[in-house]
Amino acid sequence: MSYLDDPRVFFAAERTLLAWQRTAIALIGLGFVVERFGLFVRMINAANGNAPVADAMPTLWFGVAFLLLGAAVSALAALQNQRFVRTLSYPEIPRGHQTWLGPVLNYALALTALLMAAWFIRSAV
């Protein structure tokens, strides 16, 4: 619990949530790029008449791993933010400020990453 009674404490927590959100987006983006790069390599090999890649699954699993890691980072950051905001007193949360928007956005980002991972796995099987 903070004893500052200053809204800057709340805004610092919001900035921290946004920093974790950027990290989650970067991990999810990296997972998407890695998985799609494997598809690109398979398409280039097929177009050039080369033999197909023997095992194209590593790019799928590395991509899915990054997607799942990004989803976990996003969800855990939202959970941590919600726990912290509950400990703040009235003067620390600015009047009329909605405290639910950041965590909801992070949960939606985590759900999107999970759905994307499921889509990649289903399309590969």
Inter-CA distances, 37 with 13, 40, 72, 123, Å: 36, 5, 23, 15
| Spatial distance between the Cα atoms of 74 and 3, rounded to a whole number of angstroms | 28
pTM: 0.84
What pLDDT does 76 receive?
98
Show the low-confidence residues of the chain (pLDDT under 70): 1-4, 51-56
What pLDDT does 51 receive?
64
What pLDDT does 3 receive?
63
